[in-house]
Amino acid sequence: MKRIALTLLTLATLMLAHAQDYRFEVGPVLGMSGYIGDLNNSNMFKHPGVTGGGIFRYNMNSRWAFRANLNYVSLSGNSVDIANKYPDPEHPGELINYKFNTHMIDVGAQAEFNFLNYGIGARYKQYKRVSPYLTAGIGMAMCFHKGGGSHPTFVLPLGVGVKYKVKERLNLGFEFTMRKDFGDQVDNFTDLYGVKHSFAKNTDWHCLAMFSVTYEFSKRCVKCHYVE
């Protein structure tokens, strides 16, 4: 009888431990965007833009997650704000100011590593409702420039963030990423000094500081000693 009671207690403990464990999250993001490049080489938020979109996350376990994201990003800059002065290609010997306004569709995939066992429940696993994390990934962006023209670019996002589990299936998050743009056309300008450079030495980056709200769904299958 004691063995049966102990078995039932073990099963109940396992079920409670994973009752709040869901595979997927989905939700919106909203925040501020910035730019570093030919027309801004210091303060990335000198001309802040807006960003918004959505994320779909797969939680492999309490430490690792993988996600897909789709973002709209607005970027702008003006060479008046920097010390660099650029020559006018149409009037040799004269200087010219440049400015740009770009709208971008940024899609990609990222991996996330939580520093703590993120979650609720299962005290023996030491779950924490708050956890900082690192993220990195790969993506693609299409830049649409004011006045016409568009350019694609590969994107390499690198960043940090923090997650907070409000309750069982609701999460809040904040993330900051620097996104390397492998194409010197985000600001629609390249080789402003008239000196050609290689693909690897382009200067364009964009950054995103975003808040997110996500909702979890698709509860994992829980059996005696097996968790999907």
The CATH number assigned to the domain holding 87 equals: 2.40.160.20
The confidence score (pLDDT) of residue 4 equals 54
Residues 6+ apart with CB under 8 A from 93: 87
* SS3 of residue 80 by DSSP: helix
Q: Which range marks the domain in which residue 101 is found? A: 2-227
The confidence score (pLDDT) of residue 13 equals 45
What is the number of structural domains in the chain? 1
The confidence score (pLDDT) of residue 28 equals 98
Query: Mean pLDDT per 10-residue run, the chain (228 residues)?
Result: 53 43 95 88 88 98 96 89 64 72 96 95 84 98 90 95 96 97 78 55 86 95 57
Rounded CA separation 113/65 (Å): 7
Residue type, 98: Y
Q: Which residue has the tokens 């956890």?
A: 131
What are the start-end ranges of the E strands in the chain? 22-36, 49-59, 64-78, 86-87, 95-96, 99-114, 130-145, 150-167, 170-182, 205-219, 222-223, 226-227
Rounded CA separation 57/68 (Å): 6
Nearest alpha carbon to residue 69 among 35, 104, 43, 95: 104
Residue 20 phi/psi, 5° resolution?
-105, 15
- Could you tell me the pTM of the whole model? 0.82
Residues 6+ apart with CB under 8 A from 49: 32, 33, 34, 35, 73, 74, 75, 76
Residue 134 CB neighbour total at 10 angstroms: 13
The confidence score (pLDDT) of residue 160 equals 98
Dihedral-angle region of residue 93 (phi above 0 means left; psi in -120 to 50 means alpha; beta otherwise): left
The confidence score (pLDDT) of residue 21 equals 82
